[in-house]
Amino acid sequence: MKQATTIDLLERRWDGASAQRGAEASWLCGLREEAWAQFNQAGIPTTRHENWRATNIAPVFRRDYETAAIDALPCGRVHEELARLDLLGGTTVVFIDGRFAPECSSSMPEGIELLSGANALEADGLDRKLGQTALGIGFPFSALNSALFSDLLWLRVRSGVVATEPVTILHVTTASADLGRFSHPRTLLEIESGAKAAIAEYYLSLHDDDAVECTNAVTEVLLGRAAELQHLRSVLSGGFHFGRLAVDQAAESNYNNVSLTLSGKLVRNDLSCGLYGEGAHGELNGLVMVRDDQLVDNHTWIEHAQPECTSHELYKAILDDQARVVFNGRIHVHPGAQKTDAVQANRNLLLSGDAIVNTNPQLEIYADDVKCTHGATVGQLDEQAQFYLQARGLSRDQARALLVSAFAKEVLDHLPIKRLSDWASTKVDQWLARSASAIER
């Protein structure tokens, strides 16, 4: 009855936090109560739910997770891990098990404000920002996060500020094989009107892939008028991951997300981009590279709620071994959202006969003067291209390796900040090197 154990754990945590809730602002307490009720009402989704039909999350609830907080923050370990992952340097914010770790973090550059703990939760105006976009029927884990998150990371880029260097946000779990962790990191990224910024969010584990870990993260993004954000989101830990991204874009704003998933036993991302102001541009791009028995499920929603908005979506996946990838992307053009221009593409490459791809690109259109296209492919490397490269002197293996690498890196073209794309490119190469023999087949 492990499932009961996990639910028990979550219930104990809810009960245990009643004192904290009592001390919180009434709106926040209300939000949590509502979220908890929503989570309980929805229950743990099963494959009978349309949005979970290809993803069985029962294993998540068959593990033992502890609740005890850690005594000392392992900043040394965090830095070792960052070094190993080539993530050292620049402005860095570290959250450990869902709590801000100032000792491990660097200070913010001018124009960017970092709030956490009581500073964040008691700040004016938070009630109008938190939970506005991430909640809603169909996102039980968002609700769970809202009910249980213990700390909030609120990063605010002030109006008109142009931040040139990317800010790194690290969500670290201390889970190990012996000590399980079920954490609920919560992030609010606010890019005020006219501001420009780049933010990279990483989810990593201090211990190996056997760590008993479930990270249930929610990131809300608010873009003011004409604001711009380059946003990299990458799961680097080997456990279970639920990721919810909810983006709310004002007029003329520009949002660009690249979601890179190379790790994780079971990763489910629910990413939604709401174009709620005229002339906004939103991009959701993703690259998934999986092997062994990994399962990665990306559900995306693009809401074209206003006229003259454009969106772009490119999701690619490479699968080896018995891995399984799910893509479900919906473009929803609301009534009146004329002159919408939406493009969505999903491309998959299977390197193994045991891998499975489920793809479900969807268009839901209620306005007539729109341009919407989507395409999905599953297939092999282009034989013509391979032949062309061989004709230029590359060996068959080299040609194939090159083509697979090019297939993957097309997504990274949507990451204009060189530091981030170089890093991602290296990670892609490392992954490909391990699957070299499958690629040569």
Q: Choose between 124 and 368: whose C-beta lies nearer to another protein.
A: 368
**Residue 361 sits in the site that holds another protein (CB under 8 A):** yes
Among 4, 23, 43, 50, binds another protein (CB under 8 A): 50
Q: Choose between 379 and 393: whose C-beta lies nearer to another protein.
A: 379
Give 24's contacts (C-beta < 8 A, 6+ positions apart): 32, 121
**Residue 352 sits in the site that holds another protein (CB under 8 A):** yes
Closest distance to another protein from the beta carbon of 359 (Å): 4
In whole angstroms, give the CA distance from residue 42 to residue 140: 6
Closest C-alpha among 23, 144, 150 to residue 99 = 150
Closest C-alpha among 212, 102, 106, 121 to residue 166 = 106
Q: Choose between 15 and 369: whose C-beta lies nearer to another protein.
A: 369
Residue 79: its H or E element: helix 75-84
Q: Choose between 186 and 347: whose C-beta lies nearer to another protein.
A: 347
* Length of the chain, in residues: 441
**Residue 435 sits in the site that holds another protein (CB under 8 A):** no
Among 44, 85, 356, 402, binds another protein (CB under 8 A): 356
Among 338, 386, 405, 425, binds another protein (CB under 8 A): 338
**Residue 436 sits in the site that holds another protein (CB under 8 A):** no
* Residue 231 · residue 263 · CB < 8 Å: no
- Which of the residues 52 through 71 are near another protein (CB under 8 A)? 54
Q: With the C-alpha atoms ordered 212, 285, 365, 132, is the resulting torsion angle positive or negative?
A: positive
Among 22, 125, 353, 393, binds another protein (CB under 8 A): 353
**Residue 22 sits in the site that holds another protein (CB under 8 A):** no
**Half-sphere exposure of 301 toward its Cβ, with a 13 Å CA cutoff?**
20
Lookup: tokens for 150: 């213990």
In whole angstroms, give the CA distance from residue 414 to residue 365: 26
**Residue 223 sits in the site that holds another protein (CB under 8 A):** no
**Residue 381 sits in the site that holds another protein (CB under 8 A):** no
**Residue 370 sits in the site that holds another protein (CB under 8 A):** yes
Among 375, 413, 433, 436, binds another protein (CB under 8 A): 375
Helix count and strand count (H, E) for the chain: 10, 20
Q: Choose between 367 and 417: whose C-beta lies nearer to another protein.
A: 367
Among 377, 398, 426, 430, binds another protein (CB under 8 A): 377
In whole angstroms, give the CA distance from residue 244 to residue 220: 8
Interface residues with another protein (CB under 8 A) are 50, 54, 335-336, 338, 348, 350-380
